[in-house]
Amino acid sequence: MLIENTSDIVKSSKLLTLKNGEQVEALELINSQILVLAENGLSLYKDIAAIEDPLANGLLHSASLADANRLKLERGRFMHMHRSGLIGLFDEKVILLTPNDIQLFPNRNCALRNQDEIVSFHLG
């Protein structure tokens, strides 16, 4: 019998249109939290139902992006690929997921060197 193990932190991806008409991509993480990618920011929620909660009870972290750092939407998606704790976006930006942080970098080289971080959530 083969035991399948994966190091992927992203379990699934779902496209959503929020009540305000904004298109987002909701990534379910292995801890069941939801990382929401939007053109103008990143948000982390405790679960999928918390995304449209008007009181924001399930919002764990949120960061707005400056105009120069907005995420690129392509074919309705922001995420181009994911492997282990790395999420590649369509505009060469990458999100690095670690046990303690979620970090957005302008490209893979910056992520490898932990330089030029655009935004970060400290999960500790």
Evaluate the CA torsion angle 107, 108, 114, 119 in order and state its sign. positive
Q: Tell me if 35 sits within 8 A of 42, measured CB to CB.
A: yes
Residue 29 inside a domain? The answer is yes
pLDDT, one tens digit per residue, over 7-23 is 678 999 999 999 999 99
Burial class of residue 34 in the structure, from the number of CB atoms within 10 Å of its CB (0-12 exposed, 13-18 middle, 19+ buried): buried
**Domains of the chain: total:** 1
- The one-letter amino acid code at 2 reads L
Q: Tell me if 93 sits within 8 A of 87, measured CB to CB.
A: no
Q: Which of 29, 6, 15, 22 is nearest to 95 (CA)?
A: 29
pLDDT, one tens digit per residue, over 28-87 is 998 899 999 999 999 999 999 999 888 888 999 999 999 999 999 998 899 999 998 899
Residue 73 inside a domain? The answer is yes
Whole domain around residue 108: which residue ranges?
Answer: 10-122
Residue 2 inside a domain? The answer is no
Q: What is the pTM of this model?
A: 0.90
Task: Look at residue 5 in the predicted model and tell me its pLDDT.
Answer: 57
